[in-house]
């Protein structure tokens, strides 16, 4: 059987001229159930403030814009870096996995993180599956902490906090689990 080919994915710093794209991706009805969208000014702040890294995801043969990612806590004194947001238009083709690998390499490499963490809604089976298979460990649950509207019904969802520690990342590297994480 042929091994699947990893998609071409690269991250480049978001420019203010990308923010119309960022806001439109964030407000896409396919993405809204899984995130809490920001005001444009919050994105502007994240582009400018050194505690954040805001990137456009480019993928495919022509490296088209296909989403964005945000890291927060890049100057955190405890070395705790957060994968604040990842939103892709191009879903289910391995782009998310490639981004998460590149972000881990950035967090534990350039940013010298001790802990790389995120939270994810319990209804987000795809993201949960991706993070677990990329080695993130569940730390705990913030029960019914976010409002959601599903099928026209209002309710609450639980946030699941997941993380990876630097020694766990090093172990994955040693086992060859982080292939393809070269930052383009
Ligand atoms: C979540 C997201 C970033 C994932 O990126 P993606 O490119 O779609 O994901 P990938 O194709 O790289 O991989 C997804 C993995 O989850 C698996 N998956 C998909 N649906 C799943 C489900 N219902 N349950 C468990 N796993 C699932 C896929 O099979 C795939 O694993 P595989 O490589 O072994 O086949 C993307 O779908 C997205 O932007 N979603 C909307 C916004 C969002 O949810 N952001 C994250 C907030 S925490």
Å from CA of 96 to ligand 1 middle: 7
Nearest Cα neighbor of 15 from 38, 46, 39 is: 46
Specify the pLDDT at position 171: 98
Mutation pick for ligand 1 pocket among 4, 59, 96 (CB with most ligand atoms within 8 Å): 96
- The contacts of residue 124 (CB under 8 Å, 6+ apart) are 33, 34
Specify the pLDDT at position 183: 53
Question: Are the CB atoms for 100 and 164 separated by under 8 Å?
Answer: no
Ligand 1 close to Cβ of residue 122 (< 6 A): no
> Which parts of the chain sit beneath pLDDT 70?
1-5, 182-184
The Cβ of residue 137 has, within 10 Å, a number of other Cβ atoms equal to 13
The enclosing H or E element of 40 equals helix 40-48
Å from CA of 171 to ligand 1 middle: 24
Q: Whose CA is nearest to atom 6 of ligand 1?
A: 96
Specify the pLDDT at position 2: 55
Ligand 1 close to Cβ of residue 73 (< 6 A): no
The Cβ of residue 149 has, within 10 Å, a number of other Cβ atoms equal to 10
Q: Whose CA is nearest to atom 18 of ligand 1?
A: 126
Specify the pLDDT at position 3: 54
Å from CA of 93 to ligand 1 middle: 9
Å from CA of 127 to ligand 1 middle: 5
Write down all domains in the chain, each with its CATH number in brackets.
9-174 (3.40.630.30)
Mutation pick for ligand 1 pocket among 7, 92, 138 (CB with most ligand atoms within 8 Å): 92
Cα(159)–Cα(18) distance, integer angstroms: 29
Specify the pLDDT at position 181: 74
Specify the pLDDT at position 7: 82
């Amino acid at each position: 059987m042929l091994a699947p080919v990893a998609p071409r994915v690269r991250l480049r710093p978001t420019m203010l001229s990308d923010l119309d794209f960022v806001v439109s991706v964030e407000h896409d009805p396919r993405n809204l159930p899984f995130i809490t969208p920001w005001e444009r000014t919050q994105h502007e702040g994240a582009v400018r403030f050194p505690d954040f890294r805001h990137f456009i995801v480019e993928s495919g043969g022509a490296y088209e814009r296909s989403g964005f990612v945000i890291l927060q806590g890049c100057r955190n004194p405890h070395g705790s870096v957060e994968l604040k947001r990842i939103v892709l238009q191009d879903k289910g083709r391995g782009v998310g996995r490639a981004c998460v690998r590149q972000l881990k390499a950035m967090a534990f490499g350039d940013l010298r993180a001790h802990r790389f963490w995120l939270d994810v809604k319990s209804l987000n089976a795809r993201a949960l599956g991706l993070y677990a298979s990329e080695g993130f460990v569940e730390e705990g649950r913030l029960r019914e902490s976010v409002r959601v509207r599903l099928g026209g019904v209002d309710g609450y969802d639980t946030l699941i906090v997941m993380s990876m520690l630097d020694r766990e990342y090093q172990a994955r590297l040693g086992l060859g689990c982080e292939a393809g994480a070269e930052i383009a």
